[in-house]
Structure 1
Amino acid sequence: MNKNNTIAIVGTGAAGISLANQIVRSLPLGLNMSGLTILMFDKPEQIGGGNAYAIDSHTNLMNTKCGAIDHGFGAGFGILQWAKDNVAKWKPYMLGRHIDEDTYAPRPVVGLYLQDLLQHAIDKAKGKGVDIRIVKESVVDIVQENHGYSIYTESANYHSRYTYLAIGHVQPKKKYSYQCNERYYHTPYPMQQLMNEIPKNATVGIIGSRLSAVDVAVGLSSAGHTGKMISISRQGRLPAVRAEYGKYQFKDIKREQLTDLLSADNYELRLHDIISMLRKEISHAEGRELMLSDVMRKDLGPVEYYENEIALSKGNERPWQAAIYATNSNIDLLWHYLNKADKKELLSVWSNDWLTYRASIPRQNAEKVLGLMKKGQLEVLAGATGFDFNDDSNKFEMLRSNAESTIEVDYLISATGSTGNILEADNTLLENLVAKGMIRPHEHGGIDCCFASGRIFPEGDASNESSRFFAVGPLTSGVYFFTTALEVIERQSKERAAELAFMLTEDAFNLTVARPVEAAFSENALHYLDQRNTDTVHMTA
């Protein structure tokens, strides 16, 4: 193996670790891998889990059971067996509870598992003559060269033949003056920082009402916070509550069937087709016709809604939830083949509802949220229109539509999650790559890449066979739609690793295998290139 065959993985969160593990598992049999190096880059504090699974508060719960994680992630190194073998590591975070397939583990526990999965990959790589090295620095730029890429960190540069962007979720830049106030938090994580810095009796505004907002309310209250907390968003809808039981496998829209159907000549998938497919599967799961209004219950206020949700989830199955979660297996296909106009409608009209009911929370945290609302410590409001800081009152203002007065709070926390628009991302690497045309923003979020392989084509040249530049994980949301579930990340990593094994074989034998220009390359590419020729994009290099 040529010693110039270095693989660079930028990011050591779930996507980067999954990719490294899958690459080691997929290395071509019969080839001498001696001299192959995998370089993995990340900030020291994010190595082994990234922001999502940082060592933080035990109240930050996963919304997926350990059994589902074990089934769909960590090939060859499942979380359940890891938990049996490493009780001392996770025990401090479980507060006397054990870990089994029905456990919603705290995110720090999954972070500990990811750290050991990374070490597992390193050990397995050594057995194959492959060296995985961790570079504890952020990557600030990547430059394409004749035979690969130069990877620049803040203090050094490295060379790679193959490069993978796996940087996970990215935070948006601060755009408003109130965001520069020392009592404003642009992200709720690490939660421990909020617990340590916010006075217990302070009034706290929470921007958003989904998963991260729940983390804030539950986390602060568990640390003894007594002040009023106000969660505000446009719709004011809390996440649905997960049932304790329930699994479902699609009957009519399995991945193999979908592939045959959607790739047929002249077939056009419309949004009403997807709704019809899902409605049929949900009816299969429920054994009856289920009305959307029965699930959404928009007629109920936050307290009544959670009383109803908790009652329905306690000791019961909610088959519609199992059917919705089963879309992990084929949601990328449905999204890819969906009519372009319908994609825009789905994002503009239905995406918030989808996330509210797809990204549900464990009952134990829902009960804590309900308790906070009932005693008046937490209020969940709709109609958010903006935020500001009032110098006269020395408080933040939360503005609402049709409200007679603004709401004032001492502290303000943004719990709206990451940004899907890379032009708004607070990330030097992405800024530099966009500025030089090595990546393009996808019109539906993230970066534009080939659907079939995740390959990134600089300047949109899909015939450029020299490209060894790929993306995996949340950065690909515009191409694959839902990219945060560990099961989905694992599938992407497995596909990227299989493609890499093919390329390594080509390089080892100096082969040139013709590939068709990939029709799966996003329709966004040409539009972006046309726009780029006429517009000036101002970026900070």
Structure 2
Amino acid sequence: MTDSAGNQAEIDVAIVGGGAAGVLVAMRLLEKPGSRLRVVIVEPAAELARGAAYATTQPEHLLNVVAGGMSAFAEDPTQFVRFLSASNDAAVPATTFAARRDYGRYLRETLRAQPGYSSLQWLRERVVDIERCGQDNVLRFASGGTLAARAVVLAVGNAPRRIPASRLRGNVRLAEAWDYATVASIPADAEVCIVGSGLSMVDAVLGLDRAGHRGHIHVVSRHALMPLAHAAPGAGEAAPDKLLALGLRERVRLIRAWARAAIAAGEPWQWVFDRLRPHGQALWRSLTHADQQRFLRHVVRYWDIHRHRIAPQVSATLDELRAAGRLDAVAGRLLSVQANADGAAEVAYRPRHGDDVRTLRADWLINATGVETLVDLQPDTLLGALRARGRVLPGPHGIGIASEEPGRVLDARGVADPRLFVLGAMRIGTLWESIAIPELRGQARAIAEQLRATLDDAPVA
């Protein structure tokens, strides 16, 4: 990037990634009139705020949180609801589960409304490496270009977990769950096997159903547990003090007891998790390292289906498909997928509670295994390049990258970099609760405040 005189122009803040996390950071950096910060978003997609979650254009792909909890600004909690109401020319209840495509549009329009938006630059490039040059960062692009920035915010979002190539044999017809167009183009009569039973699986099933798919859908995952439905919102707050003093096993027992007591009192069990929701980071960070490992081995899938719930109407669609015999789930570990001469594939798996090998037939395989959080399994990405340079360190249990507040990245020596920040999915090893909008907007605000304090008062001449 060059200035009007043709010289290399230095940027104050480069935000790597233009999905929800990156846009939230940009909003905060640009919200104050008269800011002197020069901000760039580096995002190769054709539109901002179209990360994995909000790239869908399909109306049946709904937010997993009611509209009243999705404002970009915690201090203005009804902003998204007002946006929906204005867009629909009618009042939209805060309890609405809005379409994800509408949320992406809301983020884009809210960004454009910030006082400093006219100074924002957007580069449609892909960052492949970031070198430290003195006090600056030099971003290297896949195109061969470079950009110097005083500070960098890694808002890289969610990378899909890959099915190991060693398990795919032959010309397997494979679609990624987040490739919404390919999923929708699968022939209506095709027999489909979806690997993974979480939120990505839900998206794939909804996409198939909307496209008029009539074939059978198999879901294979280790536990065969699907996300549960939200209940109507309830009131009340939880005091997590009792949980914080307990180990993992005792916490699980107490939460189960609270759920049973809620049901006995005529309340949905979901309210117990809603009350715990604001305390997720404290609950994670107060566990010992050993208990965190036990959680990841034995509890995480059960926690996920209760914590990361889906809209009631989405859950009803899944129930209808299962009742009609068009959707089933089997618990087992995927062993291999062998493509046959006729184009169909034989999917081999080992049942969760058995030693035998079973198979099922599928014309198409959909990868819905979720988000890859282990940085050492991403060697061909920007994070892999930073890892090779020693600029990042894997987070606890190898999950994400190590960081300290308000998102400063720790290098291979464990030293915090004052000019390199991260937010979102890559902080979950440290924070656990780090990918939903309430956490993203809080992290974005904290990072922006730190950057303004250290950069805005001393701009580069």
Give TM-score, length-normalised by structure 1: 0.75
AA partner of residue 246 (structure 1): G
Given that 1:11 and 1:167 are in contact with CA atoms closer than 8 Å, whether structure 2 keeps it comes out as yes
Deviations 1:296-320 (A, max 9, x none): xxxxxxxxxxxxxxxxxxxx952x3
Distance in 2 separating the partners of 1:281 and 1:452: 32
Tell me the equivalent position of 1:33: 35
- Aligned-pair CA distance for 1:279: 6.0
Cα 1:406–1:329 change in 2 (3 A) is: same
AA partner of residue 374 (structure 1): A
RMSD: 3.1
**Following superposition of structure 1 onto structure 2, how do residues 405-444 of structure 1 map, counting pairs within 5 Å?**
405-425=358-378, 427-444=380-397
Tell me the equivalent position of 1:456: 409
Distance in 2 separating the partners of 1:43 and 1:273: 47
- SS of the equivalent of 1:245 reads coil
Where structure 2 has 5 or more consecutive residues not aligned to the other structure, the ranges are 1-8
Given that 1:178 and 1:184 are in contact with CA atoms closer than 8 Å, whether structure 2 keeps it comes out as no
Cα 1:369–1:116 change in 2 (3 A) is: same
Distance in 2 separating the partners of 1:98 and 1:6: 41
**Following superposition of structure 1 onto structure 2, how do residues 51-450 of structure 1 map, counting pairs within 5 Å?**
51-70=52-71, 78-87=79-88, 99-121=92-114, 124-126=115-117, 131-155=119-143, 156-173=145-162, 175-177=164-166, 179=168, 183-196=172-185, 198-250=186-238, 252-253=239-240, 270-272=247-249, 274-275=251-252, 278=255, 286=262, 318=268, 320-392=269-341, 394-398=343-347, 399-401=349-351, 402=354, 405-425=358-378, 427-450=380-403
Given that 1:74 and 1:117 are in contact with CA atoms closer than 8 Å, whether structure 2 keeps it comes out as no
- SS of the equivalent of 1:115 reads helix
Given that 2:28 and 2:444 are in contact with CA atoms closer than 8 Å, whether structure 1 keeps it comes out as yes
- Aligned-pair CA distance for 1:323: 3.0
Tell me the equivalent position of 2:454: 503
Tell me the equivalent position of 1:312: none
Distance in 1 separating the partners of 2:167 and 2:47: 28
Cα 1:317–1:111 change in 2 (3 A) is: farther
AA partner of residue 154 (structure 2): L
- Aligned-pair CA distance for 1:355: 0.5
Distance in 1 separating the partners of 2:175 and 2:210: 21
Distance in 1 separating the partners of 2:456 and 2:100: 38
Cα 1:71–1:455 change in 2 (3 A) is: closer
Distance in 2 separating the partners of 1:188 and 1:37: 36
- Aligned-pair CA distance for 1:420: 1.1
AA partner of residue 47 (structure 1): L
- Aligned-pair CA distance for 1:390: 3.6
- SS of the equivalent of 1:44 reads coil
AA partner of residue 477 (structure 1): I
Cα 1:120–1:326 change in 2 (3 A) is: farther
State, as a whole percentage, how many aligned pairs show the same letter: 24
Given that 2:172 and 2:343 are in contact with CA atoms closer than 8 Å, whether structure 1 keeps it comes out as no
Distance in 2 separating the partners of 1:16 and 1:492: 11
- SS of the equivalent of 2:116 reads helix
- SS of the equivalent of 1:19 reads helix
- Aligned-pair CA distance for 1:120: 2.3
Count of residues in correspondence between the two structures = 447
| Deviation larger for 133-142 or 453-462 | 453-462
| Deviation larger for 332-341 or 414-423 | 332-341
Cα 1:168–1:420 change in 2 (3 A) is: same
**Larger proportion of helix:** 1
Deviations 1:420-479 (A, max 9, x none): 1112237521121111111122243543333322111323242x6x63111101111111
Given that 1:55 and 1:111 are in contact with CA atoms closer than 8 Å, whether structure 2 keeps it comes out as no
Tell me the equivalent position of 1:530: none
Distance in 2 separating the partners of 1:173 and 1:460: 29
Given that 2:68 and 2:78 are in contact with CA atoms closer than 8 Å, whether structure 1 keeps it comes out as no
- Aligned-pair CA distance for 1:507: 4.5
Distance in 1 separating the partners of 2:193 and 2:259: 37
Distance in 2 separating the partners of 1:181 and 1:188: 20
- Aligned-pair CA distance for 1:506: 7.1
Given that 2:69 and 2:77 are in contact with CA atoms closer than 8 Å, whether structure 1 keeps it comes out as no
Cα 1:170–1:75 change in 2 (3 A) is: farther
**Larger proportion of strand:** 2
Cα 1:356–1:111 change in 2 (3 A) is: same
Tell me the equivalent position of 1:492: 443
Deviations 1:392-447 (A, max 9, x none): 56422222324674101110001111111112237521121111111122243543
Cα 1:76–1:369 change in 2 (3 A) is: closer
- Aligned-pair CA distance for 1:174: 5.2
Given that 1:56 and 1:192 are in contact with CA atoms closer than 8 Å, whether structure 2 keeps it comes out as no
Cα 1:446–1:366 change in 2 (3 A) is: same
- Aligned-pair CA distance for 1:44: 2.3
Whether 1:8 aligns to 2:9 is: no
Give TM-score, length-normalised by structure 2: 0.87
Distance in 2 separating the partners of 1:481 and 1:24: 28
AA partner of residue 400 (structure 1): R
- Aligned-pair CA distance for 1:183: 4.8
Given that 2:70 and 2:77 are in contact with CA atoms closer than 8 Å, whether structure 1 keeps it comes out as no
